[in-house]
Amino acid sequence: MRSKTQTDGAARIGIHKVASHARVSIATVSRTINHVPTVNPVLAARVWKSVAELNYVPNTQARALVSGKSKLFGLIISEITNPFFPELIQEFERAAVARGYEILIGSTNYEPEKMELCARRMLERNVDGVAIMTFGFEESLLDRFAGEDIPVVFIDVTPRHPRSSNLQVDYRAGIYEGVQHLAVLGHRKIGFISGPLRLGSAETRKLAFLDCLRCAGIKPQSAWLVEGDHTLDGGRDAMQRILQLPEWPTAIMCSNDMTAIGVQHALFEADLKVPADFSLIGFDDIHLAEYTIPPLTTVRMSCKDLAQGAVTSLLANMESTQSRFETRSKINTRLIVRQTTGLPKMSSAI
């Protein structure tokens, strides 16, 4: 109970005060601000006037408590420090806020225990849905949400759970364009720096690359397939490892743009030039890709489509009373040619 008369300066005003100020009942105020059509326009006007005068702001927690809907979406990402995710967050937030939802962000930093913590945080706050945009997959996590009947949306993975949907990214199309582009330029020795392979999507990208290579009639060299971790440092380290190999590829494709930027840096340190010594292709097309030196040729994956797709399927899954499976939508990718690709270096050309 609150002590005495609550001497705090501005005790938060509630629907109650608005009602008495507008000389109507509490119910009328509630109906007015929720736009129930049957309210008498005269009373409604009085209510809105009082709302404005008293600077009334509805208390979302009380609302959530009674309605059972928190109007909150969880957004779980890998790493907020990778510019791809802020771009994704921005679009996700835009889509969510437009529909009256707030968003709760959790970054896993690729650590399973942080993932668990994120899930718990979201459960406590009673999120109405969760978008797992981490390009990886934690079975345990999913169970928690499924147990509470909370809609979940994933990228790539197709879990067999109620109220979950997934966004299918067509990695192959963009990667195929990239490989073709390199092949046309004359490259036959193409390396690939993947993301952390325990991430399902990273594996998928690598497999798509391998497949595209085969389509182009190129035999993949396992030494040129190195695992990175989708960070700047990881890209740099991976490239340094490649540079220690007895034979070098003439072109490198990367699992994301941050990796590619790391590669550019490793090449800079080794006094090698892009695209003269190495051609380079990234993935994601973050805004920064246009600003690297030289500007990065990369495969664009629209994070706007991703974000909007996620919000849309979350919403759809909430509305449907019955638990349904697999609301799939496809996300396209395509090559954006800039200046990190060119003819292969003579000494290494076929």
Q: Which residues bind DNA (CB under 7 A)?
A: 1-2, 12, 14-16, 24-28, 30-31, 33-34, 38-40, 43, 56, 58-59, 62-63, 65-68
Which 203-242 residues touch a copy of itself, going by CB under 8 A? Answer: 232, 236
25 binds, among a copy of itself, DNA, none (CB under 5 to 8 A by kind): DNA
DSSP string, 57-86: ---HHHHHHHHS---EEEEEES-TTSTHHH
Q: Round to whole Å and give the CA distance between 333 and 147.
A: 34
3-class secondary-structure state, position 278: coil
Q: Do 230 and 283 contact (CB within 8 A), yes or no?
A: no
Q: Omega before 86 cis (within 30°)?
A: no
Query: Which CB, 34 or 332, lies closer to DNA?
Result: 34
Beta strands at 72-77 and 251-254: parallel, antiparallel or unpaired? unpaired
Cβ-proximal residues to 148 (8 Å cutoff; 6+ apart), any chain = 123
In DSSP terms, 175 is beta-bridged to: none
14 binds, among a copy of itself, DNA, none (CB under 5 to 8 A by kind): DNA
Is residue 277 within the footprint of a copy of itself (CB under 8 A)?
no
220 binds, among a copy of itself, DNA, none (CB under 5 to 8 A by kind): none
Which of 55, 222, 244, 347 is in the footprint of a copy of itself by CB under 8 A? Answer: 55
99 binds, among DNA, a copy of itself, none (CB under 5 to 8 A by kind): none
Is residue 113 within the footprint of a copy of itself (CB under 8 A)?
no
Q: Round to whole Å and give the CA distance between 303 and 75.
A: 14
Q: Round to whole Å and give the CA distance between 152 and 52.
A: 38
Place of tokens 């934690």: 138
Which of 28, 107, 166, 256 is in the footprint of a copy of itself by CB under 8 A? Answer: 107
Which of 30, 43, 54, 83 is in the footprint of a copy of itself by CB under 8 A? Answer: 83
In DSSP terms, 167 is beta-bridged to: 155, 329
Q: Do 105 and 75 contact (CB within 8 A), yes or no?
A: yes
Shortest distance, position 212 Cβ to a copy of itself, whole Å: 28
Q: Which one of 8-16, 215-223, 242-250, 296-304 is the stretch in contact with a copy of itself (CB under 8 A)?
A: 8-16
Q: Do 248 and 215 contact (CB within 8 A), yes or no?
A: no
Shortest distance, position 147 Cβ to a copy of itself, whole Å: 6
Query: Which CB, 24 or 331, lies closer to DNA?
Result: 24
> Which of 17, 48, 53 is closest to 32 using CA atoms?
48
Residues that bind a copy of itself (CB under 8 A): 8-10, 12, 55, 57-62, 64-65, 70, 80-81, 83, 85-87, 89-90, 93, 97, 102-105, 107, 117, 120-121, 123-126, 147-149, 232, 236, 261-262, 264-265, 268, 287-288, 290-295, 323
